[in-house]
Chains A and B, each alone.
Chain A
Amino acid sequence: MNMKRTGVFVCHCGINIAGTVDVKKVAAEAAAQDSVAVAEDYIYMCSDPGQKKIQEAIREHNLESVVVACCSPTLHETTFRNACKAAGINPFQCEIANIREQCSWVHKDKAEATKKAIKITKSIVEKAKRNESLVPLSVPVTKKALVIGGGIAGIQAALDIANGGHPVILVEKNPSIGGHMIQLSETYPTLDCSQCIMTPKMVEVSKHPNIRLMTYSEVKEISGYVGNFKVKILKKPTYVDPGVCTLCDDCTDICPVVVENDFDLGLTGRKAIYIPFPQAIPATYTLDDVNCPGLLPIACGKCADVCKPGAINYDMKPEIVEEEIGAVIVATGYDLYDMYNMAEYGFGKIPDVVNGLQFERLLSASGPTMGEVLRPSDHKVPKEIVFIQCSGSRDPELHNAYCSKICCMYTAKHAMLYKHKVHDGQPYIFYIDIRSGGKNYEEFVQRATEEDDVIYLRGKVSRVFQDNGVIKVWGVDTLTGKNIEIDADMVVLAMAMRPAVGVQDVLKILKIATDKDGFLAEAHPKLRPLESVTAGMYLAGASQAPKDIPEAVAQASGAASKVLALFSADELMHEPIVATVDEDVCSACKLCIPLCPYNARIYDVEKDIVIVNEILCEGCGSCVAACPSSASQQRNFTDDQIFAMVDTILEGE
């Protein structure tokens, strides 16, 4: 064993450590270790004089490594490593012995605490003695971003990065960008028209020189690591050449196939060749090949026949586009909880029970009824209308346990807009609580009750059923304790928000973790809400949790600024505590390969061993622990270091 010259510095931390640990004794015991050249104690090691003391000792005693016995490494490891670096020793030769959080603060008996502090310090000295000097690995950054999802969050993120001067690829699975926001009528709390504020942004995306918009496309494969991803994107054929199409609409007129229109959530139909909505971006038609009777002109071919400019091409093929990118923003959004899960509220059986998004379409000036509130079954104006909040939310037994957050606000808006259109109508809202935190939100709800006569009933609806043409809504008012029965003309369910349908497939490809509800998991619930656990992948919008438009926009801009910060450097630094392989010992059993979650383990055919891609390696050590021949080690967490630490802790009585 080499006799590395180590210095040990024991901090009193005022009385935080010295109150329960005999710091002088810790220093004295440490000094007795063979590799320790000097051991000192000081009242505040992290203070400037404390750091100077360490630096002087490094010079005076020619130290090669430093152990500071103090608070948790999460607090001052960087401080002391920088101090060591400034004094000329490799920062990875500096280690922290945590004798505060994990010793002096959790024990009262001074003798016990001192004994434990000594063991902790000595075990870290043994580790430091075997540390390698390491240099962070540096990797170049590809300054191009991928944004997945073309709703408001994805659009905002793409625009921010593009305006920051970097190219962006915006991938959207549907034929147009716009997401759910473009379906909305008016937005709370200002009641401004959603399409009016959304379409300029959509146009900006389509015109931006830094944005490559790929609609009707899906991410199929991604490999690489932060700063250096390679992605394969599938561009599905639309069978229409947007450059040639003049938007004359002759094709939809002639198309004989009618299917449900997703944009209106089934309230209307659309043809097999269609434009999703008039302001769609890109402004062009898509031929949906699932519902088209045949791309063989022999089977139908009517649309191509009537297309005067000849924009329709049945031979268009799926295309795989490969791109190199440096960062990913996932903004895959939400869908509403499937109403078929809510049999108790009559959905599926009663045509006039609709969900919140369907009601948005009914309110929308560009919707199926041109903004008139007409119920789907007979197109009559509903005079008594019941809104049920928390449909599928806050119900851990049967549905989703979480609060979908936006429903209180949009239901107030629905009731208000309804009242603005049907002056003699009566809206009722069943609610559990009203959650109206947000700028001007509470005032908005107040306005609904005070100015628009919305009746709020606190309680749950137990049943919705049809009886002689009327919809019976049974519930309780928990404030009065009375049972309530309303004969309604229409019922609107404020359905829970769920992660977007089909998003699981994308997440599997991206290897992004989700929480228990399927929303994207953030790297830290409080301090890193914009990042996924995978470096270089960021989160925006309702894909991470239910949120409304301003929140989605704020998070998207936040994620974009993370990407811009990443792109501001030409090189990235990567932690060097990675796995290593002793080429002479590795027998290429390949056990380690499937264990690595980052694909950092690669079989080297020529050498017939398994090697480590140090840039991909995140340094967990799980492959190292599995190596049957100990050919693999983790830098500065080697078996020898761990054995030596165990020995030191267990020695003595």
Chain B
Amino acid sequence: MDKFEPKIITFACNWCTSAGADLAGTSRMEYLPNSINIRVMCSSRVDPQHILWAFRKGADGVFLGGCHPGDCHYIDGNYKTLRRIKMLQKLIQDFGIEPDRLRLEWVSAAEGKKFVEVINEFTEHVRKLGPLNIPADLSSHEAS
């Protein structure tokens, strides 16, 4: 059987993580192609709904990248993100989704290398977890 290729959605904040991902590109670093970035202005724009939606629509993993504590362009958006993600990691367990399918990392604009490392590591981790099988009743429910 072919190797399982997980589908990963990455939400990257404009000021740090997306810039860090750009730096990885400028430095011609290579990483696994499974994850695709959605750029938001701040990690705190990411609503738990977006993450649940991604899982429901077939993502095997969701990755969030924000600025390091104290570095958020909007002062403390990343702290809000941290709290939301911690809560959501507990919540998704009740839906039968392993909490480690959702990952939050701080990646600064200078950390192209870190972006590569965490994306590779997360991709392999999700690959090990295997495809996400959400109970049918959950996945068929239309979110508003």
| Residues on A facing B (Cβ under 8 Å) | 72-74, 98, 100-103, 105-109, 112-113, 115-116, 119-120, 123, 511, 513, 515-516, 521, 533, 577, 595, 597, 618-622, 624-626, 630, 634, 637, 639, 642-643, 645-647, 649-650
Cβ-neighbour of B30 out of A102, A106, A618, A634 (below 8 A): A106
**Do residues B30 and A513 form an inter-chain contact, with CB atoms below 8 A?**
no
**Do residues B45 and A624 form an inter-chain contact, with CB atoms below 8 A?**
yes
Nearest CB in chain A: distance from B12 CB, A: 9
B11-53 vs A, CB cutoff 8 Å, 1 = contact: the mask equals 0000000110111111011110100111111101111111001
List of B residues within 8 angstroms of A618 by Cβ:
74
List of B residues within 8 angstroms of A119 by Cβ:
36
Known: A105-B26, A650-B54. A112 touches B38 (CB 8 A): no
Which of B75-83, B94-102, B123-131, B133-141 makes up part of the contact surface?
Answer: B75-83
Nearest CB in chain B: distance from A643 CB, A: 6
Known: A120-B36, A533-B73, A597-B75. A650 touches B45 (CB 8 A): no
Cβ-neighbour of B33 out of A72, A109, A621, A637 (below 8 A): A109
**Do residues A102 and B45 form an inter-chain contact, with CB atoms below 8 A?**
no
Q: Looking at chain B, what size class is its interface with the partner chain?
A: 35 or more
List of A residues within 8 angstroms of B36 by Cβ:
116, 119-120, 123, 649
Bound Cα distance A630, B47 (Å): 10
Cβ-neighbour of A646 out of B24, B57, B73, B77 (below 8 A): B57
Bound Cα distance A254, B49 (Å): 74
Known: A74-B22, A120-B36, A123-B36. A106 touches B29 (CB 8 A): yes
**Extra inter-chain contacts (5) besides given A618-B74, A630-B144, CB under 8 Å:** A102-B18, A106-B116, A107-B31, A642-B47, A642-B53
List of A residues within 8 angstroms of B84 by Cβ:
625
Known: A100-B25, A119-B36, A533-B73. A650 touches B59 (CB 8 A): yes
**Do residues A637 and B22 form an inter-chain contact, with CB atoms below 8 A?**
no
Is residue B9 within 8 Å, beta carbon to beta carbon, of the partner chain?
Answer: yes
Cβ-neighbour of A102 out of B7, B22, B47, B76 (below 8 A): B22
**Do residues A101 and B47 form an inter-chain contact, with CB atoms below 8 A?**
no
Nearest CB in chain B: distance from A617 CB, A: 10
Nearest CB in chain A: distance from B87 CB, A: 12
Known: A74-B19, A101-B21, A105-B25. A634 touches B76 (CB 8 A): no
User: What are the nearest 6 A-B pairs in CB distance?
Assistant: A621-B45, A101-B25, A622-B44, A620-B74, A105-B25, A620-B42
Bound Cα distance A123, B11 (Å): 13
Chain A's closest residue to B70 (CB) is A513
Known: A622-B74, A642-B50. A107 touches B9 (CB 8 A): no
Bound Cα distance A630, B49 (Å): 10
Bound Cα distance A513, B41 (Å): 19
Chain A's closest residue to B27 (CB) is A105
